[in-house]
Structure 1
């Protein structure tokens, strides 16, 4: 739930802003996976959502449900695999389809943990066509992405590498699944993703972490009751008001969009800091003067 965006929208500050969200690995497992339930629907009708999943049936089902609901924003789910290259790759389809990956599951390692083999072990393989996000957006005339979410089971860094132009020019925030051990053979790990994104001037804001106990241990540790840290979600945002960025890059319209994205993501303190920065540095323009809103919060 956001705490600033509704007031900003009601007062007309967002009338000329359009927000674009891309979700790579967009299979919806529950209502919590729907972006409107996560707060993004507040930007409607100035909202476009593009979901990608290699499973055509999953995309067709998502599109049919959206049509039935009569949504007031643009959202489409596209049956494409995104990676770091254009061509064909092998998709390793696992016992639980949500765990399928472009990397083969590391079954010997998975067998050491409770509850993982029955989900992540291999079922079958199939060849799929892959493309890169930069190419897709170029062909579809998608010039900006504000929020990028990636959850593709070990192949997440490859998706980032295929979006290098967008990362350098437009993307404001990223939520990405990361692994801390090789659940899939030869997959990149969190350290690789972190170094890559820091080199693109993204700052790590938070981690949601997931643990698994060893399969054959019935007794939990007092100090480490959850077992071993294996994967999680990492949240990265631009820090546009830091000295990493030039004055040209510190566009007030982009900073306002970043504040809105941070607010929807739950980083309220950062959203407030950005609104204060805009008021102090661009407040002579009424479009970036938020004193009344700030005073309601502090």
Structure 2
């Protein structure tokens, strides 16, 4: 649940903001995969989602569902396999299609863990054509991606390597599935993705992880519920860090990053960005978020009881509050 977005929407701060999401590995498994129906929908009709999956049937189903719902944002599910090169590759299709990969499943290894082999064992393989995010963006005239989500079962680094140009120019937030052991043969691990993104000024913000216990064992520890196998790593290119590209320090970029941080449940970081934006660019009403900060923090009874004026975040922006909200 976002903290600041509703206030920013009411005050008109989002009126001219566009939001572009690339969702690579876009099969919708749960409601959480339907981004437009989540907090992202606040940017509609200026929300555009490009969703990619190698399974054409899954894309057709998703597109038909969107058409039947008559959504008020733009979302396209595109049957393309994204990788680090344009050319041919082998897709290894597993018993559950959501586990299919450009790498063959490591069946001998995954059979040792509970609840994996029935999903991840190989069904068949097929030759497919691959392309890259950079090639797709160039062909479609796309110059900016705001949020990039990649979940392609061990091939996430390949997708990121195929997006070097757009990563350099625009992407601020990336969510990528990372693996800590070879569930697929010869696939890159978390350390490889982490190194690649850190070299490009991204900082790891969160890493929810999944464990699995040994298939053979009837007992599982409550302290260590099995071996760490995979996770969803969230990386942000922090606009407030000196080393970050100057183009990402522009006020429009900072405001957009604050909104994304809020959606992703980092209200502390969103507040820091909104305060920075106000203090450094707040003479322009478009970037003065002081009243939004005050209004949003007023939602928390414990802060109101404490006294909002006593909060350092409010004290710093007093001069930017509207007259009726000042001390």
Question: TM-score category by the smaller chain?
Answer: over 0.9
Query: Any runs of at least 4 consecutive aligned residues in structure 1 with deviations exceeding 3 A, and if so which?
Result: 246-249
Q: Which residue of 1 aligns with 2:282?
A: 283
CA–CA distance in 2 between the matches of 1:198 and 1:290?
30
CA–CA distance in 2 between the matches of 1:172 and 1:291?
24
- Higher fraction of helix: 2
**Cα distance, 1:223 vs structure 2:** 3.0
**Cα distance, 1:222 vs structure 2:** 4.4
Q: Which residue of 2 aligns with 1:258?
A: 257
Is the 2:36–2:73 contact (alpha carbons within 8 Å) kept by the matching residues of 1? no
Larger radius of gyration: 2
Q: RMSD between aligned alpha carbons? A: 1.1
Q: Name the TM-score, length of structure 1 as normaliser.
A: 0.97
Q: Which residue of 2 aligns with 1:6?
A: 6
CA–CA distance in 1 between the matches of 2:160 and 2:12?
34
CA–CA distance in 1 between the matches of 2:200 and 2:40?
25
CA–CA distance in 2 between the matches of 1:96 and 1:78?
20
Q: Name the TM-score, length of structure 2 as normaliser.
A: 0.89
1:107-156 Cα distance to aligned partner (Å, 9 max, x none): 11011111111110100000111000001011101110000000000000
Equivalent position SS for 1:20: strand
List aligned pairs for 1:49-128, cutoff 5 A: 49-128=49-128
CA–CA distance in 2 between the matches of 1:12 and 1:279?
15
List aligned pairs for 1:224-263, cutoff 5 A: 224=224, 226-245=225-244, 247-263=246-262
- Which 5+ residue runs of structure 1 have no aligned equivalent? none
Equivalent position SS for 1:157: helix
CA–CA distance in 1 between the matches of 2:159 and 2:49?
17
- Which 5+ residue runs of structure 2 have no aligned equivalent? 298-307, 309-327
Distance 1:48 1:222, change over 3 A: closer
